A = this chain, B = another copy of it.
Amino acid sequence: MKRQTGKAVILLSGGLDSATAAAVAKNDGLDLYAMTFSYGQRHSIEIGCARKIALFFRAADHVFIDIPSGVFRSALLKNSPAGVPKNRSLDEASIPDTYVPARNIIFLSYALAYGESIGARDIYIGANAVDYSGYPDCRPSFFESFTAMANAGTRAGIEGSPFIIHTPLISLKKSEIIRLGMSLGVDYSITHSCYDPDASGVSCGTCDSCRLRKMGFAEAGFDDPIPYRL
């Protein structure tokens, strides 16, 4: 894909996928402008990881955005009565309880504002349609539609300098993401995936996210550098 400026906005969650997407943007020759969102997540460990990842990739800037809790309601959020689902089938086609309404829509909307303000037109997001097919806002059709909207609703798009939303992981399995990241030198020890870590930050090993990660590393043939409770 062609690149329009030397700058990329990268959405960094602190997880494995966004760290890999950052590595791809860096490898594409772009300076990284990182954005990290807090929205009442169950823990702030991932925010700390996002910070480490931005430093690791020598990001030119890192913006932190607070999204007021109460806007979203989902099992992922601290104030939710439902617990994090454990050991459920990963094959379920339906939308998981951990779906957060319009989450990627809000994240990408901020990325447009930030990108337009700093003169970046390339936005990288580590979304994945294989392991997260249940989330409407992780599907290719959503990103196509978002791009069309972005270029209809911004000065950049109207004036012929359109946004490109890069989803380099969209069709990769977790093991392929890990292989890609390893080939680009990602330090996965500073990434966090668990939905339900203990007080000291150790990953549970049994939530959806931990299981996907563990299976991914096993399948890719690499050791996962982080510890697990189970």
Q: Which residues of A contact B (CB under 8 A)?
A: 63, 65-66, 68, 70-73, 95, 99-106, 109-110, 112-114, 116-117, 136-137, 139, 141-142, 145-146, 148-150, 152-155, 157-159
Contact = CB atoms under 8 A, between A and B. Distances in A.
Contacts of A102: 109-110, 112-113, 116, 150, 153-154
Contacts of A103: 113
A38 to B, nearest CB: 11
A105 B65 CA distance: 16
Copies of this chain held together in the complex: 2
Given A136-B155, A137-B153, A142-B153, A113 B106 contact: yes
A133 to B, nearest CB: 12
Contacts of A66: 66, 68
A71 B61 CA distance: 12
Given A63-B70, A66-B66, 4 more contacts: A101-B155, A105-B113, A146-B149, A149-B149
A148 to B, nearest CB: 5
Contacts of A142: 149, 152-153
Contacts of A112: 101-102, 105
Contacts of A117: 71-73, 101
Nearest to A105: B109
A145 B153 contact: yes
Contacts of A106: 106, 109-110, 113
A71 B110 contact: yes
Contact of A65 (B71, B104, B116): B71
